[in-house]
């Protein structure tokens, strides 16, 4: 073999280049990037049954045929408080529409703390507990607030990670209603 040192240098260069490619590909799947999108979009909604603060039972089956916005929230998170006025406006706009449901799912909070907060804030939409955080897990949530749009046919068609505005909520609702 002529010039073995050159071959060794070439081999090292190839390994370094391959390592750079791998690192670049790993960076492209970093947690921040994954946080901005839900893997659930385009898939069927998780099957669920929840009990609302006012004693009703809602389930994915009972909500079939309606456009549903599932909002994960709690009483102590600042971004949840930031989006509250928009949620109130959205809920008021669609209060008379039986085919639109806004469902708030409590995340990382207790009903004892959230119920008086919801009453004081006048949160008029359906609010439910998530004991064991099973639904939060099934939706693949990373925090709160997060909002998911479910079509009448049970397909998750959109998500908003972080505080949602009325405009965001209307867009999610339109996407849900566009899928039968």
Partner 1 sequence: MIGRRLVLWGGAAALVVGALVWAAWPSSGSTTSAARAHELATELRCPDCQALSVADSDSSSAEAIRADLARRTKAGESDAEIRQVYIDRYGDSILLKPPSSGLGLLVWVLPVVAVALAIVGLGFAFVRWRREPRLQATDADEALVHGARG
Q: How far is the CB of 137 from partner 1 (least distance, A)?
A: 5
Residue 92 CB, shortest distance to partner 1, in Å, is: 31
Closest C-alpha among 119, 116, 117, 114 to residue 130 = 114
108 binds partner 1 (CB under 8 A): yes
Exposed/middle/buried for residue 121 (C-beta within 10 Å: 0-12, 13-18, 19+): middle
Cβ distance 50 to 71 under 8 Å? no
Residue 113 within binding range of partner 1, rule CB under 8 A: no
The least distance separating partner 1 from the CB of residue 93, rounded to whole angstroms, comes to: 31
Among residues 45, 94, 100, 107, the one that binds partner 1 under rule CB under 8 A: 107
**Region of 13-21, 50-58, 90-98, 156-164 interacting with partner 1 (CB under 8 A):** 13-21
Tokens of 175: 């996407």
Residue with tokens 């309606």: 66
In degrees and rounded to multiples of 5, residue 51 shows phi and psi of: -115, 125
Residues at the contact surface with partner 1, assessed by CB under 8 A: 4-5, 8, 11-12, 15-16, 18-19, 22, 25-26, 29-31, 33-34, 39-40, 107-108, 132-134, 136-138, 140-143
């Amino acid at each position: 073999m002529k010039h073995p040192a050159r071959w060794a240098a070439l081999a090292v260069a190839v390994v370094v280049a391959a390592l750079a490619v791998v690192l670049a590909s790993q960076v492209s799947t970093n947690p921040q990037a994954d946080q901005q999108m839900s893997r659930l979009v385009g898939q069927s909604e998780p099957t669920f049954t929840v009990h609302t603060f006012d004693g009703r039972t809602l389930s994915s089956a009972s909500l079939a045929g309606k456009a549903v916005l599932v909002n994960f929230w709690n009483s102590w998170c600042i971004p949840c408080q930031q989006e509250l006025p928009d949620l109130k406006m959205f809920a008021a706009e669609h209060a008379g529409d039986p085919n639109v449901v806004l469902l708030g799912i409590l995340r990382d909070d207790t009903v004892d703390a959230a119920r008086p907060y919801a009453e004081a804030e006048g949160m008029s939409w359906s609010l439910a507990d998530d004991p064991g955080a099973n639904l939060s897990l099934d939706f693949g949530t990373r925090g709160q607030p997060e909002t998911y749009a479910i079509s009448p046919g049970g397909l998750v068609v959109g998500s908003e990670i972080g505080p949602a505005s009325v405009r965001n909520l209307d867009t999610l609702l339109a996407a849900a209603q566009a899928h039968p």
